[in-house]
Amino acid sequence: MYLIEEYIDEITCIYCKSSKVIRHGTTSKGHKRYRCRNCSKTWIQERKDMNRPDISDVVESYLSGKTYRELVDTYKSSPLRINQKIREFLEGCPDWEDFLDACVINHDTKLVYLIGKNFSCSIPGSKNNTMYVAMAVEALSSMVLGFEIGLKDSRSVWQTLLTRLDKRGIFTQTFMTNGSKHIEEAVLSIYPDAHLRIYYHSAYRDQELMCCLNKLPINIKLINDALTSYESMNNQNLNNYLQKNFSINLNDFLQTNPELFTKRLKERLDSRPKIRIEGLTTAFQTRFEKFHMLKEDPYPLVNGWIAKTMISQLDSGFSRLTIYSQLPARSSFKLFSCGQKPVIIELEKDSAILKTFVIEIAARCIQVPIFYSKCNMTTDSCSLF
């Protein structure tokens, strides 16, 4: 007597795609096993509740601060396997600098911060089990224009970064630094005509603005300063966008929304420890000191973290990439990983999103330490009265 095997109509072989599939028992955990009569291979049906999230979401969670062990319940795999999948994914992501150049054609900026940080990384050649990341950050948007990784803070690391910026056509009139001799020597060799200033100017500018707001919350001087700052910048995408789509400009917008402008400026000044350029290095340090020491090439992880941070939404509802381009757009870490550019958003003239976007850029403009006044922050010499 022969056992008649019935083929299962709704299932095909996962290897040869044949429809000649039969049941082949179950595993010790009760999962159904199948066998193909065409190629003789067997496989196990995935559990119905095994709905793993997209790997890009898992990688983004890891870059945001989750550990491999904390992701086990989400991805339903071992920490070792998750580690492997995350690294494979990050190694396949675009280079951040190449992606940025594809999204933004004109890189002429008014002010660039040069900041760096040590981070733990156990690799050959590093005596202290640390490495160093140098970053060039645009002042208005806090956008990382480029980065370089080295064994330690040195002139060669900064020179390599600045040389690459120069070759990419990134020009700026002023660099803001912490006074490092390494940075100064590198800047003078690559950008001999640029000005060098220290972080103090940024803090002093914020003090001036707070003084103005305390004396006269809504005033024409602050609006005019924001307009002057914006007009001095080479990137005029916002003005062009407003004129093309709504036949207005930044001046028209600020003059009709002074309360929104001063409110947002005050919010930014009140939270300045978090939103300052230096806050970017703090966030980097927090992420790279929380977990175990890196034991492989750190570039994919650093590149992924920077991309994720530049594309993630800030409290204003926009990403650094959107603010840097000055065009309202949507993007995501998943789209970045596929090399897809941000998608421009079509907005209405009276939309809340447009107001928030324009006000955000204007408030950031006035905070960029472009003006170096001799204000003593006293009533008798105040330019408001």
Q: 0.85 cut: is pTM over it? A: no
Cβ pair 376, 211 in contact under 8 A: no
Residue after which a domain boundary falls, among 198, 228, 256: 198
Residue from 158, 79, 82 nearest 113 by CA: 158
284 and 366 fall within a common domain: yes
For residue 280, give the nearest of 152, 163, 147 by alpha carbon. 147
**158 assigned to some structural domain:** yes
Q: Which residue has the tokens 């900041």?
A: 115
Tell me, yes or no, whether 10 lies in a domain.
yes
242 and 366 together in one domain = yes
Residue 23 covered by a domain: yes
User: Does residue 99 sit within a domain?
Assistant: no
DSSP 8-state assignment for residue 180: -
**In a shared domain, residues 87 and 222:** no
Number of domain units in the chain: 4
**pLDDT (tens digit, 0 to 9) for every residue of the chain, 385 residues total?**
334 456 777 788 877 778 888 888 888 777 788 888 888 888 776 644 445 678 889 899 999 888 888 888 877 778 888 888 899 999 999 999 999 999 998 888 889 999 999 888 877 766 778 889 999 999 999 999 999 999 899 999 999 999 999 999 999 989 999 889 999 999 999 999 999 988 877 778 888 888 888 887 777 888 988 999 998 888 889 999 999 999 999 999 999 989 999 999 999 888 765 556 777 888 888 888 765 546 778 999 999 999 999 999 998 899 999 999 999 999 999 999 999 999 998 899 889 999 999 999 999 999 888 765 556 555 555 654 4
| Domain identity same for 263 and 369 | yes
Distance between CA 292 and CA 374 in Å, rounded?
48
In a domain, 251, yes or no: yes
What is residue 152's three-state secondary structure?
Answer: coil
Is residue 21 within 8 A of residue 29, CB to CB? The reply is: no
Asked whether residue 253 falls in the same domain as residue 115, the answer is no
Q: Which residue has the tokens 């709504």?
A: 246
63 and 166 inside one domain: no
In this structure, what DSSP letter does residue 12 have? -
Q: What are phi and psi of 118, to 5 degrees?
A: -80, 150
Looking at residue 329, the DSSP 8-state letter turns out to be: E
**CATH for 39:** 2.20.25
- With H, G, I as helix, E, B as strand and everything else as coil, classify residue 79: helix
Helical ranges in 232-339 per DSSP H: 237-246, 250-256, 258-270, 272-275, 277-290, 299-311, 320-325, 333-337
Residue-number span of the structural domain to which 71 is assigned: 55-91
- CATH classification at residue 169: 3.30.420.10
Residue 224 and residue 246 in one domain: yes
Give the separation between CA 3 and CA 347, rounded to whole angstroms: 68
